[in-house]
Each structure stands twice: as structure tokens, then as C-alpha cells.
């Protein structure tokens, strides 16, 4: 499955100081010609959720709920982040209840906004 990074950066917390890395990835869909997008936010070793599985985290509200957690982002080569000391939480837009997303800029912006929302919630838990 091919994956490509559409956006990446740091999402600042509400206080404007704390920031967490985020990545928006477009993935090919194995079941159709459409692609779907995923959003990921990384937390450092000092974060209370570092190393936790996504299904153990019930307080986070993001598009479709959390669907991923791991020490890296499968199928994506990251540069510019201290990946050895990050634990990633993610969500996707490939749920059965929604129509297939396209690769439009509008969708990328929506997933990026959801990454910011996820980052704010993760920062509040520190």
C-alpha cells in the first residue's frame, strides 16, 4: 500500500507554548480506486500515554475515534522529528459509515485540523 505525507509540523497547545508533532498521510485504498487520509500526533516519553495502546485511551475525541498507536507510522519514513522518543496516536477516514474521501486539499485541511484537535487533547493530559 503506497503512502505519502501531505502535511507535517507541530501543533501548538492552547497556551501557545506546548507543541506536539503531527503528520497527515494519504494512503491508497486496497478495496477501491479511492484514497483515504490518516492523521497522527506524537507524544514524548514523559507523556502519561506514552506506550499506551489506542484502545486503552477513552477520553480522546477525534474523527472516527483513535485507530492507531505505535512507535512509528507504518509505511511512512519520517524526517525532522525525534522519532526514537515518540509514541504516535492516529485516526483514519476509512470508516464504513462515511463516503470515500478524495485527495483534495479540503480533505487534507480537515484531517490537519483534526490533528490539531487531537494534539490539544493530548497536551491537556500532561
pLDDT digits (tens, 9 = 90+) for 29-61: 555 556 778 889 999 999 999 999 999 999 999
**Average pLDDT of 99-112?**
71
> Grid coordinates 515518540 are at which residue?
86
**Average pLDDT of 63-82?**
87
Q: What is the pLDDT of residue 68?
A: 93
**H or E segment to which residue 97 belongs:** none
Q: What is the pLDDT of residue 33?
A: 58
Contacts of 31 (CB under 8 A, 6+ apart): none
Coil vs helix vs strand at 26: strand
Coil vs helix vs strand at 109: helix
Phi, then psi, of 106 in degrees rounded to 5: -60, -40
Amino acid at each position: 500500500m503506497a503512502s505519502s505525507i501531505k502535511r507535517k509540523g507541530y501543533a501548538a497547545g492552547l497556551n501557545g507554548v506546548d507543541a506536539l508533532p503531527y503528520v497527515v498521510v494519504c494512503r491508497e485504498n486496497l478495496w477501491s480506486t479511492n484514497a483515504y487520509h490518516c492523521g497522527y500526533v506524537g507524544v514524548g516519553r514523559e507523556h502519561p500515554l506514552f506506550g499506551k495502546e489506542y484502545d486503552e485511551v477513552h477520553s480522546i475525541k477525534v474523527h472516527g475515534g483513535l485507530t492507531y498507536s505505535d512507535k512509528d507510522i507504518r509505511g511512512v519514513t519520517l524526517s525532522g522529528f525525534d522519532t526514537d522518543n515518540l509514541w504516535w496516536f492516529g485516526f483514519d477516514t476509512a470508516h464504513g459509515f462515511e463516503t470515500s474521501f478524495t485527495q483534495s486539499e479540503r480533505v487534507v485541511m480537515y484531517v490537519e485540523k483534526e490533528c490539531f484537535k487531537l494534539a490539544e487533547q493530548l497536551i491537556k493530559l500532561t
